[in-house]
Amino acid sequence: MNSRQFFPVYYTGVKLFNQLVNRKKKKYAFTMYMEEFYIVFPEGDTQEIQRRIRINTLVDVNGNPLSLPLPTNRMVVFRVARVQQKESNGLSETYHYLELVSARELLEFCE
């Protein structure tokens, strides 16, 4: 066997890797890997959300995807314009940049 082995252990929302560091002394080091997702509003405010969102998805103020067709065009709706991912030691942050959709553009998504 290799001197380093990886054993994936899954927690709720957090993935832990159990790595065998020194085989003779059987010491273990735990490295935690976390994923965080954020939406960034046009004004620059950020809000944490629970999941990843695709580009060009229509979302509400809380970052929840909207089902089509929309009941009316008098809603506050954002579109995901771009997605940026930043990674550091054990942390992956995904930023979804939103743009406001006008009422005129929402007419094509209404019943």
Beta bridge partners of 98: 80
* 85 part of a folded domain: yes
Residue ranges of the chain whose pLDDT lies below 70: 1-31
* 71 part of a folded domain: yes
* 15 part of a folded domain: no
* 3 part of a folded domain: no
Q: pLDDT tens digit string along 71-93? A: 998 999 999 999 999 998 888 99
Closest CA to 100 of 75, 70, 64, 69: 75
> Could you tell me the residue range of the domain that residue 62 belongs to?
35-109
So what's the pLDDT on residue 25? 53
Torsion of CA 85, 88, 91, 97, to 10 degrees: -20
User: Angle CA(69)–CA(78)–CA(34) in degrees, nearest 5?
Assistant: 110
So what's the pLDDT on residue 61? 94
* 51 part of a folded domain: yes
What is the CA 35 to chain-centroid distance, rounded? 7
So what's the pLDDT on residue 32? 77
pTM attached to this predicted model: 0.70
Instruction: Please check whether residue 53 is in contact with residue 63, taking contact to mean a CB–CB distance below 8 angstroms.
Output: yes
Give the count of domains, the chain. Answer: 1
* 102 part of a folded domain: yes
